[in-house]
Structure 1
C-alpha cells in the first residue's frame, strides 16, 4: 500500500474507514480493524498495489490519532471539523438522504426543508469537498477512484472538476427512491445530488431495481441527455462463504452456541428457532416482525412452547432520538410477548441488544427459519449469510422490498413487510416446511448468496471502471 503522501493508482473513499481508534485510560491509543465487504474487497488487490483508502475521523480517538500522526500505510484519515461532520452525517446523510432512499418519512409532519436544513446542507457540501480535495491531491495520473455511498454523493462531480483525468466510480449501498418520492427533496438539492453522482464514469447499485430508479430520476429531473456521460452498473454484493463457515466454528462461537441452546430450552427440548439479526435501523422493520410472531402465537396455539424467536437487535444511531425511541419500542414489544405467552420453562422471545458477532454466527447455525422483513433495504446480507451458515438448512422469510429478493426470491417465502398477518402465515409455512424441501431451498439460497463474494464484487467494479473508454 502507498503512504498517505504518495500518488495512488487505486483510491477508495468512504465515511467510515477500515480502522478506528480509542484513547485508553493511560492516554495511549488502541486500534481496531473493521470488517465488511469493502475491507474484504480491497484485500483482493494485494498489499503491493498503489492503493489508498481515504476516510473520516469519526470520534475523539480517531481525531487524536490524526493529531499524533498515528495511522497505518494505505489509509488517510481526514480530521474534518467535528461540527461539520455532525451536520453532514447526522443532519443530512442519516436524517435526509437515508430517509428519502428508504421512504421512511411520515409525510404529514416531515420532512421540513427550512433554513436549518440549508445550513446543514452547507456542511454536507463542505464535507464532500474535503474528500474531493484529498482524493485530487493524492491520486496519481489516470488513477481509479471508487467513492462509496450516500455520505459522499457530491464527491464524483467535485472531483471531476478538480481532476478530469481520473476514472471515477460511485457505489450506492442503499436503495434508490422512485422519482415521485425523490422529488420530496427541494428541486435544486435533488438536481445537485444527481449531478454529483453523474460526475462519475460509472455509478453503481446493488440491484437493477435501484439502478433503474436512479436512471428515471435523472431522465425526469435533468433530461435523458444527462445520462450520456455515465455508465450505470449493477453489482450484487454476496456473502463470503469461506470466511463465514470458518469463523462460525471457532471456540467463541461454540461457547455462544451452548449459551443460546440453554436460553432456547433445557437439554432435550425440541424447539424450532426463528432467527433475525439486525441493527435497530428504522428500515429493518423489527417491530412488525415481532408483531407477526405474536400473531403466530395467538392464532396458531400449537406453536406455543414449540418455537423461540431469537432476535438480535443491535442499537444503531443512538445519537438520534427517533432511533433511541425505536430501540426502546423493540424492547417493549419483546417484553410484552414474553409476559403474555411465556411460561416457567419457555421464553418466546430471546432478545439480545449488545452487538456480538460470534453470538450472531451461533444463531445463524441454529436457525430453522430466518426472518428478514425490511421495509426497504439496499441488499441485506443477513438474508444471504444465514443460509450459508445454518447447520440444518433454513427456510427464509424475505421481504419483497429487500434488494436480496432479486437474487433469492425464488427460494424464499416472500412477504409484504407491512402485512403482519401475512408475515405470521409465512412464519407458519416456514416452520412446517418439509425437511427435504427446506434443505433443497437452503442449498440453492446459499449458492445464490455467494455468487459474488466481496473480493470479486470489488474487482469487478475496479476492472469495469478501468476498462471504460
Structure 2
C-alpha cells in the first residue's frame, strides 16, 4: 500500500489524454485539445471535484512537454519509454487484443504466440504497471478511479494490490470476444487479462452482448466474476454539440464543395447519396461496403448516374503494414468502380482519405443513406451521429454486428456485414424508401442515439462505482 496518498478524488486513466503536443523546428510546443465522452464527463463534474486524468505521452512533442514540465491542470502525462510503449500499444493492444475482440485473425496463418509475443507482452505489463503506480501515487484515500479500454486491462488488478482502499472501475470501448475466440490467447495470458480486469469493483461495457461475453469468459476460465459487478452504458451522441457544430460556416462551405462533386443526374435531378465515414480500420468493413455499392450498380442499372457513394476513409494505424495494405485496397477498389461505371459527368465513388471533421458533418447533413457495416464494433458513433444532424432524414443501413444495433436496429435496415448481395439489396431498399417513412425512422433513430449523451454516460459510471450496491 502506498505510504502517502495523493489529493485527487476522481481519476481517469487512458492511453490517449485530453491534450497532445506538437514540437516545431524552433522547439516551440503547441497543445491540441481533444474531445469525446471522457472530456465531456470530466467537464460535467466541475473544476472543484479534484479530478486527474492520467495518460501516456504518445509522441516526441508529448515527451518533450513532460521533460519541460509543461502541462495542463488536471492532467498527468506519463513518459513511458518509447520502445516499451510501441510494444505495448502496437504489438499487444492493437495487434493482439484488438484482433481478438474484433475476430480479425486469418486463423490458418495467425496468431503466432512466440518468443517475440512474450517479449512484447512483458512491455505491456510494464506499461500497465506505470499507470497503476501513477494512479496509486495520485489518488486520495477512497478515491474513484475509472480505467479505460483494452490498452489497460491489467491496471485494475495491479492497482488493487497497491491501493486496496480505492474504488476501481474499468470501461471497455470495444466488443468482448466470445469464449472460444478469447481462448486463442495463451492460457496464462487469457487468465492474466481476466484477473487484471477483475481487480476492478465494477466493469462497464457498451452493450449487454459484450458484458455477457466477458462474464462467459470469466465463468469458463477463472471461475466467475467473484465480487466484481458488471454494468452496461451505451454511449450516445452529443446532440447539442453536433447540431451546433454542423451549422457553422466551414461545414456549409464543405457542403457546397460536396454538392459540386456529387453533381446532378442526366435530367438535372439531385443525385442521391450513400455516405460512410470511418477510419480505415480493418473491422469497419469498408472494402465490402464498396463491393456492395458496386453490386448495387450492377444489379440495379437504373441507379447509374443517379447515386453517389460518398466514402470517407480516414487513415488509421498506418505504422502497421496490414493497415497500409487495407487502405491501399480501399483506394484501389474505389478507383476500379469509378473506372468501370463512371461517365464524364458522374463519379460513382467520391473517396476522401484526409481527416476533416467539418466535411464529415457536411456529409452527414447531405446523406440520404448512411452505410455502417462493420464486421464487429463496440458501438459505432457514426450510426448515432448521422440521424442527429441529417437535414432531410436519412435511412441507416446497419450491420447487426455493431454495438449500436442493440439500440438502433428496430429503425435501421439490418445487414449481415459479410453478405455483399444482401447489403446491395438493403441499399436499394434504403434509396427507394418513401420520404415519410424515412423521416419517421430518422426521428426515432435520433431519439435513441442521444438517450445517453457523453457527459451523462461518464457520470452514470461514476455514480454506479460510488454506490456499493449499484449494478
Query: Partners in 2 of 1:206 and 1:308 — Cα distance?
Result: 33
Structure 1 residue aligned with 2:233: 235
Matched, 1:397 2:397: yes
Q: What residue in structure 1 maps to residue 308 of structure 2? A: 308
1:379-404, CA deviations, whole angstroms, 9 ceiling, x for partnerless residues?
A: 00000000001100100000000000
Q: In the TM superposition, what whole-angstrom CA distance separates every residue of 1:66-119 from its partner, at most 9, and x where no partner exists? A: 001000000000000000000000000000000000000000000000000000
Does the 8 Å CA contact 2:264/2:271 hold for their aligned counterparts? no
Instruction: Quote the residue 2:273 is aligned against.
Output: 273
Give the match for residue 197 of structure 2: 197
Question: What aligned pairs does 1:122-201 form with structure 2 within 5 A after superposition?
Answer: 122-201=122-201
Within a 5 Å distance, the mapping from 1:10-25 to structure 2 comes to 10-25=10-25
1:193-213 CA-partner distances (Å, limit 9, x unpaired): 000000000011000000000
Q: Is the 8 A contact 2:80 2:130 kept in 1?
A: yes
TM-score (norm 2): 0.97
Offset from partner CA, 1:132-162 (integer Å, 9 cap, x none):
0000000000000000000000000000000
Q: Does 1:215 align with 2:185?
A: no
Preserved contact between residue 264 and residue 270 of structure 2 (Cα < 8 Å):
no
Following superposition, the deviation at residue 49 of structure 1 comes to 1.3
1:77-92 map, 5 Å: 77-92=77-92
Q: What is the deviation of 1:468?
A: 1.6
Q: Deviation at 1:269?
A: 4.0
C-alpha distance in 2 between matches for 1:83 and 1:274: 42
- Please name the residue that 1:378 is paired with: 378
**Residue in structure 1 matched with residue 439 of structure 2 by the alignment:** 439
CA displacement, residues 298-340 of structure 1 (integer Å, 9 cap, x when unaligned): 1100000000000000000000000000000000000000000
Listed as ranges, the gaps of 5+ residues in structure 1 are none
State which drifts further: 17-26 or 369-378.
17-26
Distance 1:382 1:38 in 2: 18
Residues of 2 paired with 1:301 and 1:182: CA distance?
Answer: 44
What CA distance in whole angstroms lies between the structure 2 residues aligned with 1:272 and 1:25?
Answer: 46
What is the CA deviation profile of residues 338-377 of structure 1, one whole-angstrom value per residue up to 9, with x for unaligned ones?
A: 0000011110000000000000000000000000000000
Judge which range, 38-47 or 435-444, deviates more: 38-47
Q: CA deviation at 1:48?
A: 1.7
- CA distance in 2 between partners of 1:29 and 1:130 (Å): 25
List structure 1 segments (4+ residues) > 3 angstroms apart after TM superposition: 266-269
Offset of residue 6 of structure 1: 5.3
What SS is found at the alignment partner of 2:340? helix
Instruction: Tell whether 2:410 aligns with 1:410.
Output: yes
Q: For residue 109 of structure 1, what is the aligned residue in structure 2?
A: 109
The alignment's C-alpha RMSD in Å is: 1.0
How many Å separate the matches in 2 of 1:248 and 1:186? 47
Aligned to 1:253: 251
Shift of 1:25: 2.2
8 A Cα contact 2:205 2:231, kept in partner: yes
- Deviation for aligned residue 1:282: 0.1
Q: Does 2:65 correspond to 1:65?
A: yes
Q: How many residues align?
A: 463
Using the alignment, how far apart are the partners of 1:429 and 1:269 within structure 2?
20
Q: Is the 8 A contact 2:6 2:137 kept in 1?
A: no
The alignment partner of 2:169 has SS state of: strand
Secondary structure of the equivalent of 2:204? Answer: strand
State the TM-score, normalized to the length of structure 1: 0.98
Query: Are 1:329 and 2:329 matched, yes or no?
Result: yes
Q: Secondary structure at the match of 1:298?
A: helix
Tell me, what secondary structure is at the counterpart of 2:10? Answer: strand
SS, match of residue 111 in structure 2: coil
